[in-house]
Amino acid sequence: MVNKSSPVRVLVVGCGNMGASHVTAYHNLKEFKISGLVSTGKSKEVLNNKLGGSYPLFNNFKAAMKTTDPNAN
C-alpha cells in the first residue's frame, strides 16, 4: 500500500512521444516522484536535459527496477 503523504515513485519506461508526455506530467505533479527513465536510445538523455537533468537514466529495465524500487512503472 502506498503512503498517501509520500509521492508515488514512478519508473518511466520508454521516452519517445508517449513516454515524454507521461514524464512531463509526473514531473509537474507533486504526488509523483520520477525514480528513473529507461530507454535503449538517446531519448532518455534528451528528455532528462529538457527537465533539468536530475533523473537517473537506465538502458536496462531489470537493472532500473532493482536500483530504483519504484511504486509504479
39 alpha carbon, distance to own chain's centre: 10
Domains detected in the chain: 8-68 (3.40.50.720)
For range 4-22, the mean pLDDT:
93
Beta-carbon count within 10 A of 58 CB: 22
Give the three-state DSSP class for 57.
strand
Q: Tell me the whole-structure pTM to 2 decimals.
A: 0.89
Residue 52 has pLDDT above 70, yes or no: yes
pLDDT computed for residue 72 by the predictor: 85
Distances (CA, A) of 20 to 6, 13, 23, 24, 28: 23, 10, 5, 6, 12
Spatial CB neighbours of 2, under 8 Å, sequence gap ≥ 6: 8, 71
